[in-house]
């Protein structure tokens, strides 16, 4: 299979290879955030091997979907078919075609953007269930790959189907964005050689989304690329936000409202707080929307240290969304060189500090590797307390950027700082850290060993206050692939 043009995706390719080598029929589910490279992975891995390949069309009616299906089947077989009246007949045509292929060969079928085929009252899903249960699952040399960006649909209708497809999939792959190491390799493959500081900033804008990274032009530096893609009139990513949500969620306005509400709070919001601020009742509807946003990679469910499950914090985890809401939504078209012009702007520095925390949470495995605790069972969480909630005298409240609670009776309290040079701990910051430790111990009754951990871009300046830090992680450590 053709994999030499792929960056990363080693585990996914190994899993697909195992599916090909199985002696039983394989129903392969591939899902993940829109633009993350699902179609590219399948096309490269199975290049030239498809027996049938079909892609759904966004917001098209059943008749159009069926016509396109028939055209593709006619092109593949050289036989001119009449457009079937329904999906049951369409899958009947597909079955007949596949049955006539040489029995000794693997039959590889790929349905891309399957959620878009399941239009209202189309009968698509029940027809697919019939096709798979009646014949596909019995065809030992069939590999049927289904793919879709509407992760919530893929999860509910296929992966966790409670009806005819219950427990039918043989392989489920959630395709994650690139990590920092993979982004660096991808950029180098496109002749883009930036410092790791700039690559980190790029990641904090685009995440590890290959489609966005592909738009970067090696002729320009980091700042100019961002201006051209986001701030230039009709730049290629200026209107991606609405398109992104509209293609995934039928009532996208409510989903956007939830995301915008959570984005305004640095530490995130609980389900109850989201309901209070949006006016959406705390019922099954809100639960479904939150789960959809988590499944699609836009939100992260983050536990609150030493609290019950109901205190789970929801945080915006999609970098593009964060950047759009912070810089593009209300400023588009005002300055085509906005990003370059705010190189040392307080608003940009504040954004970098907050988003670097997000980047660290997404590279927790690399952080644990640097700390030497990869094999130690641990839970990563957040913790904060308002001054009014603390029973300490004269408490002004406290917040820990990231807590790593370890089974070996150690807790890493992580302070995360994004700076252009070595970070200097002065007298005031030293006192702030000590106050955080005291507040944490007092309000959580923690009896484990506390280890202050600093995660910075270029390390900590060596001075008399540095001794408070027990462990240190720098940006380069986040580029070390696991």
Decide which of 344 and 407 is more confident: 407
Rg (CA), the chain: 25
For residue 245, pLDDT beyond 90: yes
Residue range 86-90: average pLDDT?
97
* Residues across the chain: 482
Same domain for 259 and 312?
A: yes
For residue 359, tell me if it sits in a domain.
Answer: no
For residue 334, pLDDT beyond 80: no
At residue 144, what are phi and psi to the nearest 5 degrees?
-110, 115
Looking at residue 271, which CATH number applies to its domain? 1.10.10.10
Same domain for 435 and 418?
A: yes
Same domain for 341 and 416?
A: no
The one-character DSSP state at 306 is T
Distance CA 98, CA 100 (A): 5
Same domain for 192 and 284?
A: no
- Which one of 52-61, 325-334, 386-395 scores highest in mean pLDDT? 52-61
Tokens (6 digits) for 184: 């660096």
For residue 1, tell me if it sits in a domain.
Answer: no
Helix (H) or strand (E) holding 110: strand 107-112
Same domain for 208 and 342?
A: yes
Same domain for 250 and 224?
A: no
Tally of domains in the chain: 4
For residue 119, tell me if it sits in a domain.
Answer: yes
Instruction: Print the domain residue range for 288.
Output: 242-325
pLDDT tens digits, 204-218: 999 999 999 999 999
For residue 85, tell me if it sits in a domain.
Answer: yes
Task: Name the one residue in this structure whose structure tokens are 């899958």.
Answer: 91
Per-residue pLDDT, 308: 56
Distance CA 358, CA 319 (A): 8
Same domain for 141 and 39?
A: yes
Tokens (6 digits) for 259: 């995301």
For residue 5, tell me if it sits in a domain.
Answer: no
pLDDT tens digits, 6-28: 899 999 999 999 999 999 999 99
Per-residue pLDDT, 458: 97
Same domain for 461 and 406?
A: yes
Q: What is the mean pLDDT of the chain?
A: 91
Greatest Cα pair distance, the chain, in angstroms, is 82
- Identify the weakest region by mean pLDDT among 36-40, 303-307, 313-317, 323-327: 303-307
pLDDT tens digits, 140-198: 999 999 999 888 888 888 877 666 665 667 789 999 999 999 999 999 999 999 999 99
pLDDT tens digits, 95-114: 999 999 998 889 999 999 99
Distance CA 77, CA 96 (A): 11
Same domain for 271 and 170?
A: no
For residue 2, tell me if it sits in a domain.
Answer: no
Same domain for 141 and 271?
A: no
N-to-C CA span, the chain: 25
Tokens (6 digits) for 385: 């307390």
Question: Which residues does 145 contact at the CB level (< 8 Å), separation at least 6?
Answer: 28, 30, 42, 46, 108, 109, 110, 111
Domain termination residue (choose one: 153, 174, 195)? 174
For residue 310, pLDDT beyond 60: no
Per-residue pLDDT, 309: 54
Looking at residue 436, which CATH number applies to its domain? 3.40.1350.10
For residue 51, tell me if it sits in a domain.
Answer: yes
For residue 395, pLDDT beyond 90: no
Distance CA 427, CA 126 (A): 67
Looking at residue 170, which CATH number applies to its domain? 3.40.50.300
Same domain for 109 and 23?
A: yes
**Residue 174 pairs with which residues in a beta bridge?**
31
For residue 105, tell me if it sits in a domain.
Answer: yes
Same domain for 349 and 374?
A: no
Helix (H, G, I), strand (E, B) or coil at 415: strand
Helix (H, G, I), strand (E, B) or coil at 391: coil
């Amino acid at each position: 299979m053709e994999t030499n043009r792929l960056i990363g995706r080693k585990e996914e390719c190994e899993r697909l290879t195992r599916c090909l080598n199985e002696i039983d029929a394989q129903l392969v589910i591939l899902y993940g955030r829109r633009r993350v490279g699902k179609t590219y992975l399948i096309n490269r891995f199975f290049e030239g091997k498809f027996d049938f390949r079909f892609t759904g069309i966004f917001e098209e009616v059943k008749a159009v979907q069926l016509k396109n299906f028939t055209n593709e089947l006619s092109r593949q077989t050289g036989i001119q078919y009449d457009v079937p009246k329904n999906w049951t007949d369409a899958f009947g045509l597909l079955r007949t075609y596949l049955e006539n292929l040489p029995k000794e060969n693997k039959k590889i079928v790929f349905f891309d953007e399957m959620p878009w085929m399941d239009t209202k009252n189309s009968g698509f899903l029940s027809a697919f269930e019939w096709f798979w249960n009646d014949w596909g699952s019995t065809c030992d040399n069939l590999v049927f790959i289904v793919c879709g960006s509407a992760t919530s649909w893929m999860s509910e209708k296929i992966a966790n189907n409670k009806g005819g497809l219950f427990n039918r999939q043989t392989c489920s792959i959630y395709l994650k964005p690139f990590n920092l190491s993979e982004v660096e390799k991808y950029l180098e493959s496109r002749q883009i050689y930036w410092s790791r500081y700039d690559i980190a900033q790029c990641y904090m804008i685009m995440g590890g989304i290959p489609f966005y990274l592909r738009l970067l032009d090696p002729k320009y530096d980091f700042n100019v690329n961002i201006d051209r893609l986001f701030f230039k009139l009709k730049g290629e990513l200026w209107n991606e936000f609405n398109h992104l949500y509209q293609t995934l969620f039928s009532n996208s306005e409510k989903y956007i409202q939830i995301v915008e509400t959570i984005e305004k709070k640095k530490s995130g919001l609980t389900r109850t707080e989201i309901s209070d601020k949006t006016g959406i009742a705390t019922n099954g509807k809100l639960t479904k929307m939150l789960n959809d946003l988590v499944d699609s990679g836009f939100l992260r469910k983050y536990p609150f240290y030493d609290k019950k499950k109901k205190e789970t914090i929801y945080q915006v985890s999609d970098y593009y969304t964060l950047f759009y809401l912070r810089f593009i939504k209300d400023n588009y078209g005002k300055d085509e060189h906005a990003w370059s012009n705010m190189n040392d702007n307080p608003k940009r520095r504040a954004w970098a500090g907050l988003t670097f925390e997000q980047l660290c949470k997404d590279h927790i495995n690399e952080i644990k590797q640097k700390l030497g605790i990869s094999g130690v069972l641990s839970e990563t969480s957040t913790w904060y307390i308002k001054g009014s909630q603390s029973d300490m005298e004269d408490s002004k409240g406290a917040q820990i950027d990231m807590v790593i609670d370890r089974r070996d009776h150690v807790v890493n309290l992580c302070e995360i700082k994004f700076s252009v040079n070595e970070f200097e701990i002065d007298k005031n910051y030293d006192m702030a850290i000590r106050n955080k430790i005291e507040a944490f111990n007092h309000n959580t009754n923690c009896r484990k060993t506390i280890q202050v951990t600093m995660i910075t871009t270029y390390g900590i300046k060596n001075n008399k206050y540095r001794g408070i830090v027990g462990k240190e992680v720098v940006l380069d450590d986040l580029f070390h692939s696991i």
